[in-house]
Amino acid sequence: MSTQIQDQEARHRRSVGRSIKNYVALTKPRVMELLLVVTVPAMILAQGGLPNLWLVLATLVGGAMSAGSAGAFNCYIDRDMDRKMKRTAGRPLVTGEISDRNALVFAWVLGVLSVAWLALTTNLLAAALSAAAIFFYVVIYTLVLKRHSEQNIIWGGIAGCFPVLIGWAAVTGGLDWPAWVFFLIIFLWTPAHYWPLSMRYRDDYAAAGVPMLGVVRGRTTVGLQVILYAWATVVSSLLLIPAAGIGWVYTVVALLAGGYFLVQAHTLYGSAIRGHEGKPMQVFHGSITYLSVLSVAIAVDPLLPF
């Protein structure tokens, strides 16, 4: 009898663990991590030093819930397309491990909690920006643009810029020019980051009827667009120097990391004009490295005594 009880308890623990894992998957944790990476540097830059650690923690928790809510809504709305794509075939709504209703309730609860949490622990502006980020990602990008425009990731990518504004607003209660320059950097970076992915998974997006640029345009066109946006990103990153009065450490890192990003973008384009696919995922992952390194430099520079 005791062995049966132990087996039942073990199965229950595995079931609970799997359910938690599936709900976490709904939040798109990799996207969430990337969004949170830029929040802390924005807060340090706004403060001109280390902000109150409780404020940082509260902002990160609120931002994580906000990004998680947007991701869960996206999984719910796009579940029909996800069933047609190999890349998304393992998502919980596709496998049936989470019901559509439960996913929708989860998304709403996370969204409401994120706004309420930020309103209580930071300020109303940060909470309003959180709500705007969810709205922009769910309505403007997922519902309006994603299925109907090859420019979807350009304007839809604005949602991914909001964490900078949320972090800045949490510290200052307002939005200053450096916050908008940081916003611009991420806005211009997003297409250069995402379009290589659309090249790699062109067949997936085509099967799902998503008009990503990699589907509706040839490799050469996509490669050229990646170069243009990569250059625009690097140039905009240098605007942060006068806008925020930032120092030489950031300047050096921005130039070196920017050069790395540009070399990868040009290499992809070079492959495209020769009729080869090249290595789009290398550019995709390289763009993440670029933004992460740039964000670290933004965070470190204000903390240095020189």
The residue from 132, 160, 175 where one domain ends is 175
pLDDT of residue 306: 66
For Cα atoms 211, 85, 270, give the angle at the middle one, nearest 5 degrees. Answer: 55
**Tens of pLDDT along 175-225?**
999 999 999 999 999 999 999 988 888 888 888 888 888 888 888 998 999
SS3 state of residue 85: coil
For residues 302 and 245, membership in a common domain is answered with yes
C-beta atoms surrounding 10 within 10 Å? 10
pLDDT of residue 32: 80
User: How far is residue 246 CA from its own chain's centroid?
Assistant: 25
Of 7-11, 257-261, 297-301, the one with minimum mean pLDDT is: 7-11
Residue with tokens 């900078």: 164
pLDDT of residue 2: 60
**Tens of pLDDT along 268-288?**
999 888 878 789 999 999 999
Write out the residue range of the structural domain in which residue 267 sits: 176-306
pLDDT of residue 120: 97
For residue 178, what is the enclosing H or E element? helix 177-200
**Tens of pLDDT along 37-55?**
899 999 999 999 999 999 9
SS3 state of residue 173: coil
Residue 206: is it exposed, middle or buried by C-beta count within 10 angstroms (0-12/13-18/19+)? Answer: middle
Residue 190: is it exposed, middle or buried by C-beta count within 10 angstroms (0-12/13-18/19+)? Answer: buried
pLDDT of residue 79: 93
Phi, psi torsion values for 90, nearest 5 degrees = -95, 5
Contact call for residues 71 and 138 (beta carbons, < 8 A)? no
pLDDT, greater one: 167 or 35: 167
pLDDT of residue 123: 96
In a domain, 16, yes or no: no
Task: Assess whether pLDDT exceeds 60 at residue 246.
Answer: yes
For residues 30 and 81, membership in a common domain is answered with yes
For residues 204 and 286, membership in a common domain is answered with yes
For residues 25 and 159, membership in a common domain is answered with yes
Counting the structural domains of the chain, the total is: 2
In a domain, 282, yes or no: yes
For residues 76 and 157, membership in a common domain is answered with yes
pLDDT of residue 76: 95
pLDDT of residue 64: 94
Both structure tokens of 269: 């384009």
Nearest to 136 by CA among 117, 109, 98, 163: 163
pLDDT of residue 245: 85
DSSP state of 138: I
In a domain, 39, yes or no: yes
For residues 169 and 180, membership in a common domain is answered with no
The residue from 113, 146, 175 where one domain ends is 175
**Tens of pLDDT along 97-147?**
999 999 999 999 999 999 999 999 999 999 999 999 999 999 999 999 988
The residue from 175, 199, 227 where one domain ends is 175
**Tens of pLDDT along 53-92?**
999 999 999 999 999 999 999 999 999 998 988 888 889 9
Residue 14: is it exposed, middle or buried by C-beta count within 10 angstroms (0-12/13-18/19+)? Answer: exposed
Residues 184, 226, 157, 209: what is their CA dihedral angle, to the nearest 10 degrees?
170
For residues 157 and 195, membership in a common domain is answered with no
DSSP state of 90: T
Q: List the CATH number of the domain containing 107.
A: 1.10.357.140
Of 16-30, 41-55, 128-142, 247-261, the one with minimum mean pLDDT is: 16-30
Euclidean distance between CA atoms 27 and 268, whole angstroms: 31
Amino acid at 80: D
Q: Is the dihedral of CA 68, 71, 77, 81 positive or negative?
A: negative
Q: How many residues does the chain have?
A: 306
In angstroms, what is the C-alpha Rg of the chain? 21
Model confidence band, residue 13 (pLDDT cutoffs 50, 70, 90): low
Q: List the CATH number of the domain containing 209.
A: 1.20.120.1780
